[in-house]
Amino acid sequence: MAAEGDAGVGWAPACLCVLCGLPATGKSTLARTVLSTAAQRGWRATVVPYDDLIPEHAFQTRAVEDSVKLQETHTEWKLHRQAVLQCIEQFLQKPEVLPELPSSCQINCDAWEQCIRSLLQPEALDRSQADRAPLLFLLDDNFYYPSMRYEVYQLARKYSLGFCQVFLHCDLESCISRNQSRSEPIPTKVIQEMVKRLESPNPLKNSWETKSILLNTTDSLSKCDIQKVMELISSALSNPLSPVEDNTEQKEADRLKCASSVVHQADQACRRLISEAIKTARENRVSSEHMRSLATQLNESKATFLHNLRKQLLQETSFTQEDIDVERVVKRAVDVFDHEKTEILLRIMNDCK
């Protein structure tokens, strides 16, 4: 372990395994199977289910992601996600006790305690065995942006842990069908929107995503699939990350940060343009039906525009805060959306005549 973890997890190998993919692709099912297999191998393992840890109102962020309150809700949701990683880090530092989380903590404390009890009191191991048993965290969430997954990678590197990713792919129709059979289904529109933004692990572009595999879960998981996952985790446990900074990785992190800043500013500007277009339509007495159509088309256009902008920015190999004029990039990008907005507005207004 790194120096920061010497008083915590000790020298027992540990791994953070990211399970990512659309809702209803089978991440929770895979996690349960891996837990069972890990127990048979004498590992300490637990699932970190973001759906349970993060309060429901924060997940509503994704359902209103194109509304005027986007920035406020997105910021809150990001804080909740960071709180989950902070709890994992706190455990890595002091695993011997159940932590007393502050009242201001952004996650469900009862759900977190349930996560780590199995690590503190593994049923199949006595105390001496448990202290030396490999430690596995299965992070169960959508993780549709590389920046979300990179935060987990940074934590693993900080404490010299193993790190790996399992991307579960399932066709959209099957995801929607499975989701609708759940007791509390996610709105179909949210899943459809997430498809547009989902960026699967790409080791060719991001060197830190090298230990990643893809499982096709349109059909049920096979024994071969489980074996691949266990081999991936075993490899990650045997090859922990080095806490030494790597220039290439740092540049990738800087690009992610800079791209997020540009997209955030562009998003704010686009929402102002949409508000102006809505106001113009009202002043021209556009019918309610056409107003709804206008709002829908503008929001869909914005979502696609921001997704393509972010993707384009990350493809620029030398794209960092120091290399570019962020304000200028934002203005040029927003000018493109302004043109699209004008075309949509004029088309709707002409339809009303």
Cβ–Cβ under 8 Å, residues 221 and 29: yes
pLDDT value, residue 154 = 93
Q: What is the pLDDT of residue 209?
A: 95
The CA distance from 149 to 256, in Å, is 11
What is the per-residue pLDDT across 270-310, written as a single tens digit (0 to 9) for each?
999 999 999 998 888 888 888 889 999 999 999 998 888 88
What pLDDT shows up at residue 210? 94
Could you report the per-residue pLDDT of 101-146, keeping only the tens digit for each?
655 567 788 888 888 887 776 555 555 566 688 999 999 999 988 9
- 3-state SS, the chain, equals CCHHHCCCCCCCCEEEEEEECCCCCCHHHHHHHHHHHHHHCCCEEEEEEHHHHCCHHHHHHHHHCCCCCHHHHHHHHHHHHHHHHHHHHHHHHCCCCCCCCCCCCCCCHHHHHHHHHHHHCCCCCCHHHHHHCCEEEEEECCCCCHHHHHHHHHHHHHCCCEEEEEEEECCHHHHHHHHHCCCCCCCHHHHHHHHHHCCCCCCCCCHHHCCEEEEECCCCCCHHHHHHHHHHHHHHHHCCCCCCCCHHHHHHHHHHHHHHHHHHHHHHHHHHHHHHHHHHHHHCCCCHHHHHHHHHHHHHHHHHHHHHHHHHHHHCCCCCCCCCCHHHHHHHHHHHHHHHHHHHHHHHHHHHC
pLDDT of 275: 92
In this structure, what token pair is assigned to residue 57? 């109102």
Residue-wise pLDDT for 163-180, tens only, equals: 999 999 998 999 999 989
Which residue in 333, 300, 304 sits closest to 319, CA to CA?
333
pLDDT confidence of residue 59: 52
What pLDDT sits at residue 169?
93
pLDDT more than 70, % of the chain: 79
Strand pairing of 44-49 and 212-216? unpaired
Among 85, 120, 92, which Cα is nearest to 106's?
85
Residue 299, both tokens: 């929001």
Domains, the chain, in order of start with CATH, read 3-238 (3.40.50.300), 247-352 (no CATH)
At position 159, the amino acid (one-letter code) is: Y
6, 155 in Cβ contact below 8 A? no
Q: Report pLDDT for 114.
A: 85
- Per-residue model confidence (pLDDT) at position 350: 84
- Specify the pTM: 0.67
| Low-confidence residues in the chain, pLDDT < 50 | 1-8, 61-73, 322
Q: Taking the CA atoms of 144, 145, 146 and 148 in sequence, report the sign of the dihedral they define.
A: negative
